[in-house]
Structure 1
Amino acid sequence: MTADADDEASSRLLPDSGSTHSVASSFLRSRLFSFGSSTGVSSAVAETSAYTALDRALDHASRPDDTILGAPRRPGSPAHLKARHPHRAEYGALSSAQSLSSCATEVNHPKDEPEADPRLFSHRRRDRFRAKSTYYLKYYLPILTWLPNYSVKAALAGDILAGLTIASFNIPLSLAYARTQIGVPEKYGLLGFTFPQIIYACMGTVPVMVTGPEPAISVMIGQAIAPFVTAGNPSFEEMERRAIMYNGIITALFAIIYLVMGFLRLGFVDALLSQGLLRGFITAVGIVLTFDTLIQALGLSAIAAAQNIPTASAGVKLGFILTNLKNAHGLTAAISFIGFFLIIFFRVSRKRWGKRFPALIYFPDIFLIVVFSIIMSWKLDWYSKGADIVGGLERPNIELKSPLTSETLPRVSEIASSAFIIALLGFFQTAAIAKNIFADPPTNPHVAPPKNPTISMNRELVALGTANLLGMFMFSLPVIGGYGRSKANAVAGARTQLCSIVFAFATIIVTFALLPAIYYLPRATLAAVLGLICIGLLEDFPSELIGYFKMHAWGDLTLVTIMIAITLGVSLQIGISVGIVISLVQIMRHATRTRIQVLARVPGTIDTFRNADVPSHDVADHELDSLEKLHNVLLVKITEPLTFANCGELQSRLRRLERYGTMRMHPSLPAMRSGDQNVVFDLEGMTACDTTAIKVLLAIVEAYRSKGKFVLFARLPATKKMMLLFKRSGLSRLLSYNSHPPAYFSSIHGALEALDECIFETPGNWSPEDEDREIEAMADEDPEAIEEDSIATDIEGSSEGEETVDEKTYLKREMV
């Protein structure tokens, strides 16, 4: 930066109105919106020069004859820091003896600071289009970002090992999901872990996410389609055909729902899921899956199908199990429970000795149990002794066809509502993985992926939708993020999405080459593997239940209880639906509630007001009664932006304050105040408003004016946009009493003084043109940038010898 440029920057940074805000904002604008320098000077030198210019400007502003906001200058101390932030040092900021220029030599700035792509600012439209297309493509295909920067030495071994580890126990699980939960051939469960997995690895933003069929979603799909699959007592072949058709339709609906939500940027809906709803959902699914697994493990599947038990509620299934224990198949039960206890043994051993022997983390216990059961079933001929086996599985054909045909379209309406709820819960589970398993940004830089894009729930929706779009043509099970396998993937050492690609190729090899090898696999072994999933879904429930009691979280506890009770008594779908409805009602109730406070003055102060109903940091509960309340003035604070959603109750809550002076009184009690009061609105929190809110404010002001009362606005965040809205709606005209400027004041104390001195009872000389000039002079700034200290001082604060300030000038100086 040259000397002329340095002087020019210094002159730009000089405060034009005696405000530190103007200095800092000019500096930030010059730093945040500068895309490069044509001088050829390095970025570090440029930053040092910029800081030096800022420090010189502040030093010029803090001379005794030109102090910022009138603060006295202290030796060796920038006046603006002392005056504005007297306790700044307590929070680790600059000490009074430090200047901003000294920070430039102490802060380690990055050596390679990114530069803006010049093509984005080219005068040629073709160059700009090509540049933006490249960035958009990388945005929706993160593999183009992380793969070119992939570190083979640091990440390859961990990704491959993690991918094979996940494959060793998820391939057997996919077989159980397909046949046990949904009733489709096992190959459709395997297909969900093949090519859709690769699609997500290319488009997903969470490095450790492993997508595919999930037990909770499989249970819900099985229950949703069971009434249509078993209607009319069809043959086994017809039931299987119907299950395949309905499964393909649900996968197609998943793809449509996710893609629409992604392109409409509705990723924020993951915030609709409360912790109680998530815990109730997981627990309810765990209960249903446990009962389904027990029926399979005891060899009661045929009897259950004959009595139409798969479509019954969880309570009916429990009664069926207890009634038919005597009919359980001994060999099937022995295989299931022995396999289950072996899995639990290895799991406990891994947890106990994993830190001492890290190799145990990669021990493929489930894979070895599956291989051992296949060998034992083949050698001991378990099938002839009554144990059900997987049998010959048809190798999937890569013949892509759509499940949405003229024959199946009439069936879409039958399961569309269930598919939407299931898809929404699947997205909630995926969002929980992104928030809880992989920190963004990573807390440990040594395990951070190489230049991985920022996690985005909107792009996650697009990635899931595209993966299901491919899966629907193969009639695979729906694909979502799996919490358990993603957590295991992170523990196994995964660094990037390459681990998912390794997992997908391992599944492809098994699906298209090794299916005959699992001919003798007992279904009881698959039930044992599912038992591990049941434990995983239910093991955290007791601790979270205790946590709800400790925190007195009765709302969440009630939601969990309702969902479990409805699941046991009616069905899982109804329980989940009721939980979602309750959660949405809570959100709408919270969003539409008008939050206003009644204020009172803190004794011994002039312009310090607190909520008269709720204790604060400096006013204890027992001190609320000592606050000074004004009987002829109602002080009301609006704490949030006013919109059509939350302004509906403003008038009714205001009338309640008029009657009682507090929100703690029930409206059935007799009135305690006459309601004949002037009103001062503290609008510091009302940073925005819409036309509906303006109409409500107009009605309030008109009602008070008809009674001969005044309405004054204090601490209004006066942006140009809001003031124009007030003017055009006529609100400013209603607030201008007896030809005075509109009653906008910079402080509550100033508004109260205007009422005490009866300023509005004498004629003024204000005209609407004055307001037009005031609005035109405003900068359209963010409301938070308005500084109260930049407002002119009160008339009593003027020093002796100054000219007497007339009412018009006084009110203009008090206007925000």
Structure 2
Amino acid sequence: MQLKSISKYIPVLDWGRRYDRTAFGNDMVAAIIVTIMLIPQSLAYALLAGLPPEAGLYASIAPIILYAIFGTSSTLAVGPVAVVSLMTAAAIGNVAAVGTIGYAVAALTLAALSGTILLMMGVFKLGFLANFLSHPVIAGFITASGILIAASQLKHILGVDAGGHNLWEIVSALFVKMPETNMTTVLIGIPTTVFLFWVRRGLKPALIKLGLGSRMADVITKAGPVMAVFATTLVVWYFHLVDAGVKVVGDVPQSLPPLTMPDFSVGLMADLLVPAVLISLIGFVESISVAQTLAAKRRQRINPNQELIGLGAANIGAAFTGGYPVTGGFARSVVNFDAGAQTPAAGAFTAVGLAIAAVALTPLVYFLPKATLAATIIVAVLSLVDFSILKTSWRYSKSDFVAVLATVLLTLGFGVEVGVTSGVVLSIGLFLYKTSRPHIAEVGLVPDTQHFRNINRHQVITDPHVLTIRIDESLYFANARYLEDYLLDRVIGEDTLKHVILMCSAINEIDLSAVESLEAINHRLDEMGITLHLSEVKGPVMDRLKCGSFLDELTGKVFMSQYEAITDLGTDPPMSKSKVVDAKPDPGKTAKAS
């Protein structure tokens, strides 16, 4: 019993007891494939973060092992990812110069802060906070980030020194530096980019046509970036292209991840706190989305709060082993899943493979051109660009479209920090806007049934002496006054009206502000000679209402069902003087509930 309780927080104690030879074989195959993919990718993402290439390898070793111990996904592959790498560069670029010791230390501190935030969120079960980030807004931010990342790497394809924090600055700097373009670098970068795009889309079908099995064709396709790395490194070395101005990776330490210490000075942590929070939230949203999607395909379950603990441990591990902030990556996780990974042990085996690469293979990348790494990044991040989210959000909701478009434009125009901050603010603002204006429907009885529906959508029976209003949202401080104004505006001028029934079937929560609004409604209606009633009140809501004096002062009754209320209060024979309202569209509410 005690082991079962502990295994909730250390999942390896659960799946580790059931580990067998079959799972080992599947995990090992997956680890080999993912390791091949991760070697060039890790080097490339470190370049994107403005860090030495070995930082990418270091950030892919200890964090993966720690996630395997504390994480709940059997296929999530943790390590550096494009968006977090870009956010890391933006954050620490404000506090230290690229290439300095202070820059590397700031990256460690950012990882430590991010890990601590994630760990605390997991311990206090705050995973729900990520729900405040609207998925369309996050999709818009990732799309804009993909464009920014691809644009930022063009300087390596052209062989020029050009920077910038937003799209305008990047494009302007590239335009100014265009005369300094190194054509030798271009002749490496552009063909490599084209080759990697072809590998992603065309190599596997070509290999299958040649008679290779699907599994082997898939492995060779995933090794495409490694082929590009090998070929371009060989070309630069053999033809002495460094003398022609081609920029290369250079010396990479031949060692396992070192023990490192972040800088916990108050000033630096204050500067990095907000970026750390944003990186934590964006990283968690990306990671949990991938983990849940892949888990659903195998009918497995992901524990979001434990995922926070796993990602927190991974980031803290990165902070003390020479890395920088990490999260679960989409591309590598899908590869891990497709390769047949059965347990988190596949990640641990991948870490071993990367450790071997860090010790034995790093001298081989001295002549690796930065243009090749840039091509790897460009091909990877352009798959994140999805402008269809604009079309989808426009078709579904104009407010969602405005939020997505604003996030995209702000990210491109002002950089990732402004973009992601605006995304968070817009997500919360969008939620508050929508819930502050709840859908309210006037309902009537569907003939020959006991069901009530919107009078603007269905042919229903209504009573001129009874008004039934259905509120399709929980009531709280932001929308309580809206209901009050709507209801009082509706009853003005209705001289025959005697009863108002609030149908509460869709109200799941109610706060003190909403109760006070109900008290005001009850008082105002009473002054008009109208009685207020409630129907279909849920238990938790009734418990709240009983806490105060509202039920004692209520002028009417609380009915178990809406049909019971109409039967009790109806002043006309069922079909004689009741009116049937023709179904008609409700302008502006075509997507609302019936």
Q: Into which bin does the TM-score normalised by the smaller protein fall? A: 0.7 to 0.9
| Structure 1: gaps of 5 or more residues | 1-130, 231-235, 444-451, 660-671, 737-741, 759-816
Partner residue, 1:654: 487
Partner secondary structure for residue 422 of structure 2 = helix
Of the three residues 100, 103, 107, the one matched with 1:240 is 100
CA distance in 1: counterparts of 2:29 and 2:255, whole angstroms: 27
Cα distance 1:757–1:293, how it changes in 2: closer, same or farther (>3 A)? closer
Deviation (angstroms), 1:756: 6.0
Deviation (angstroms), 1:749: 5.1
Of the three residues 435, 447, 464, the one matched with 1:631 is 464
Of the three residues 134, 153, 175, the one matched with 1:322 is 175
* Counterpart contact for 1:299–1:329, Cα < 8 Å: yes
Describe how 1:497-646 pairs up with structure 2 within 5 A. 497-538=344-385, 541-545=386-390, 547=392, 551=395, 553-602=397-446, 604-605=447-448, 607-613=450-456, 615=457, 619=458, 623=459, 627-644=460-477, 646=479
Deviation (angstroms), 1:675: 8.7
Deviation (angstroms), 1:608: 4.6
CA distance in 2: counterparts of 1:724 and 1:572, whole angstroms: 46
Partner secondary structure for residue 411 of structure 1 = helix
2:90 equivalent to 1:223: yes
Of the three residues 242, 263, 271, the one matched with 2:131 is 271
Tell me how many residue pairs correspond in the alignment: 566
Of the three residues 677, 682, 699, the one matched with 2:520 is 699
Partner residue, 1:814: none
Cα distance 1:484–1:600, how it changes in 2: closer, same or farther (>3 A)? same
Deviation (angstroms), 1:595: 4.4
Describe how 1:18-29 pairs up with structure 2 within 5 A. none
Deviation (angstroms), 1:383: 1.8
2:33 equivalent to 1:165: yes
Q: Which one is further off, 240-249 or 354-363?
A: 354-363
Which one-letter code corresponds to 1:415 in the other structure? L
CA distance in 2: counterparts of 1:520 and 1:592, whole angstroms: 59
Deviation (angstroms), 1:190: 1.0
CA distance in 2: counterparts of 1:173 and 1:756, whole angstroms: 71
Deviation (angstroms), 1:630: 3.0
Deviation (angstroms), 1:643: 4.4
CA distance in 1: counterparts of 2:430 and 2:64, whole angstroms: 36
* Counterpart contact for 2:133–2:423, Cα < 8 Å: no
Which one-letter code corresponds to 1:340 in the other structure? T
* Counterpart contact for 1:211–1:482, Cα < 8 Å: yes
**Residues 372-395 of structure 1: CA distance to partner in whole angstroms, max 9, x if unpaired?**
333333322222222122222234
Partner secondary structure for residue 322 of structure 1 = helix
Describe how 1:405-484 pairs up with structure 2 within 5 A. 405=264, 408-439=265-296, 442=298, 454-484=301-331
Describe how 1:24-35 pairs up with structure 2 within 5 A. none
CA distance in 1: counterparts of 2:117 and 2:177, whole angstroms: 41
Which one-letter code corresponds to 2:557 in the other structure? A
2:531 equivalent to 1:710: yes
Cα distance 1:172–1:683, how it changes in 2: closer, same or farther (>3 A)? closer
Cα distance 1:577–1:691, how it changes in 2: closer, same or farther (>3 A)? closer
* Counterpart contact for 1:187–1:396, Cα < 8 Å: no
* Counterpart contact for 2:435–2:473, Cα < 8 Å: no
* Counterpart contact for 1:251–1:468, Cα < 8 Å: yes
Partner residue, 1:210: 77
**Residues 182-207 of structure 1: CA distance to partner in whole angstroms, max 9, x if unpaired?**
22222221111111111101211111
Cα distance 1:322–1:534, how it changes in 2: closer, same or farther (>3 A)? farther
Partner residue, 2:8: 139
* Counterpart contact for 2:141–2:411, Cα < 8 Å: no
CA distance in 2: counterparts of 1:642 and 1:204, whole angstroms: 37
Which one-letter code corresponds to 1:519 in the other structure? Y
Deviation (angstroms), 1:226: 2.1
Q: TM-score of the superposition, structure 1-length normalised?
A: 0.64
CA distance in 1: counterparts of 2:553 and 2:42, whole angstroms: 69
Of the three residues 546, 557, 568, the one matched with 1:743 is 557
Cα distance 1:725–1:382, how it changes in 2: closer, same or farther (>3 A)? closer
Partner residue, 1:196: 63
CA distance in 2: counterparts of 1:347 and 1:641, whole angstroms: 48
Partner secondary structure for residue 439 of structure 1 = helix
* Counterpart contact for 1:256–1:465, Cα < 8 Å: yes
Deviation (angstroms), 1:210: 0.5
Partner residue, 1:367: 226
Partner secondary structure for residue 729 of structure 1 = coil
* Counterpart contact for 2:106–2:263, Cα < 8 Å: no
Q: Tell me the C-alpha RMSD between the 2 structures.
A: 2.8
* Counterpart contact for 2:58–2:257, Cα < 8 Å: no
Cα distance 1:349–1:657, how it changes in 2: closer, same or farther (>3 A)? same
Q: TM-score of the superposition, structure 2-length normalised?
A: 0.87
Q: Which has the higher contact order (CA 8 A, sep 6+)?
A: 2
Partner secondary structure for residue 679 of structure 1 = strand
| Structure 2: gaps of 5 or more residues | 573-594
Cα distance 1:399–1:316, how it changes in 2: closer, same or farther (>3 A)? closer
Deviation (angstroms), 1:748: 4.1
CA distance in 1: counterparts of 2:239 and 2:449, whole angstroms: 92
Of the three residues 533, 548, 568, the one matched with 1:729 is 548
Of the three residues 279, 293, 298, the one matched with 2:158 is 298
* Counterpart contact for 2:45–2:56, Cα < 8 Å: yes
2:192 equivalent to 1:339: yes
* Counterpart contact for 1:390–1:522, Cα < 8 Å: yes
* Counterpart contact for 1:213–1:480, Cα < 8 Å: yes
* Counterpart contact for 2:37–2:225, Cα < 8 Å: yes
CA distance in 2: counterparts of 1:548 and 1:352, whole angstroms: 34
CA distance in 2: counterparts of 1:563 and 1:735, whole angstroms: 47
Partner residue, 1:393: 252
CA distance in 2: counterparts of 1:182 and 1:725, whole angstroms: 51
Partner residue, 1:31: none
**Residues 231-282 of structure 1: CA distance to partner in whole angstroms, max 9, x if unpaired?**
xxxxx7xx42121122112111111110111112122233333342132122
* Counterpart contact for 2:27–2:343, Cα < 8 Å: yes
* Counterpart contact for 1:253–1:416, Cα < 8 Å: yes
Deviation (angstroms), 1:481: 0.4
CA distance in 1: counterparts of 2:393 and 2:466, whole angstroms: 43
Cα distance 1:224–1:635, how it changes in 2: closer, same or farther (>3 A)? same
**Residues 563-615 of structure 1: CA distance to partner in whole angstroms, max 9, x if unpaired?**
3322332222212222221111111223344443322344x5585532223x1
Partner residue, 1:260: 120
Partner residue, 1:488: 335
Q: Percent identity?
A: 26
* Counterpart contact for 2:440–2:470, Cα < 8 Å: yes
Q: Which one is further off, 339-348 or 642-651?
A: 642-651
CA distance in 2: counterparts of 1:730 and 1:565, whole angstroms: 51
> Which structure has the bigger radius of gyration?
1
Partner secondary structure for residue 19 of structure 2 = coil
Cα distance 1:572–1:713, how it changes in 2: closer, same or farther (>3 A)? closer
* Counterpart contact for 2:140–2:389, Cα < 8 Å: no
